[in-house]
Amino acid sequence: MRPGSHRQWQRCCYHSGVTGSTDIFPPRALSTVFLDRDGVLNRKLPEGRYVTTWSEFHPLPGVPQAIARLNRAGLRLIVVSNQRGIALGLYSADDVRNIHAALQTWLHAHGAHIDAFYFCPHDNLQCNCRKPLPGLFQQARADFPQIDAASSVMIGDSLSDIEFGHRLGMKTVYIEGGPSHQKPGTEAARHLADRAFPSLPDATNALLAHLAPSNPKA
């Protein structure tokens, strides 16, 4: 594709998304919610620090309740997480699996669960699975062939999360966090995302408010 035609495509779709009837949020047939992990489910550590053990995983307020509500609405919940700290030698893939197992146990105690976890263990420019590249979506769809981007939402707190969802054709939700958590790319992410909310519980309220008529359990 010529560079010029790509720009034209973006301009076209941006405008039709804002003004046209295609800007349905969430999609009417919402079935899958893709969740970033750090900064969405748990407190993001200061830049350059990584969650290496369950004791460093500090869930954000209201997260298990929000996940339980999304579960009860019949939505499939998939965590997709860049874990570059593995490539840097700061922790191992098994450490990440142990954290996810502990998170799942903790969620179960709150009547909630995640359907599957996928993570990229690579550094920049080494793979096809570091968001915003699509590999983690492809892994999820290999395990859950019913997954369809058009009926999915990506929720994340980084520009790479929003680009990941947007490129795949999902609706996107940017989690802004507090004023002290403003990151590079915040403005671009807010602009590109379909919606922005301070937290996962706020995003959940918005998703389920739209779904309420057909999902009475939510």
C-beta closer to Mg ion: residue 96 or 218: 96
C-beta closer to Mg ion: residue 151 or 158: 158
Residue 202 among the catalytic residues:
no
Distance CA 218, CA 73 (A): 5
**127: DSSP letter:** -
122 binds Zn ion (CB under 5 A): yes
Q: Choose the stretch contacting Zn ion; rule: CB under 5 A; options: 6-14, 17-25, 112-120, 191-199.
A: 112-120
Question: Is residue 96 exposed (0-12), middle (13-18) or buried (19+ Cβ within 10 Å)?
Answer: buried
Which does residue 199 touch among Zn ion, Mg ion, none (CB within 5 to 8 A, set by kind)?
A: none
Which does residue 95 touch among Zn ion, Mg ion, none (CB within 5 to 8 A, set by kind)?
A: none
Distance CA 175, CA 185 (A): 12
- In whole angstroms, how close is the CB of 169 to Zn ion at the nearest point? 21
Query: Using CB under 5 A, which of 129, 155, 173, 218 touches Zn ion?
Result: 129
C-beta closer to Zn ion: residue 119 or 174: 119
Indicate the Cα dihedral angle 129, 131, 24, 116, nearest 10°: 60
* Residue 206: partners with Cβ closer than 8 Å, 6 or more residues away: 173, 195, 197
Q: What are 128's two structure tokens?
A: 């096809």
Residue 38 among the catalytic residues:
yes
Which does residue 39 touch among Zn ion, Mg ion, none (CB within 5 to 8 A, set by kind)?
A: Mg ion
130 binds Zn ion (CB under 5 A): yes
Q: Which residues are catalytic?
A: 36, 38
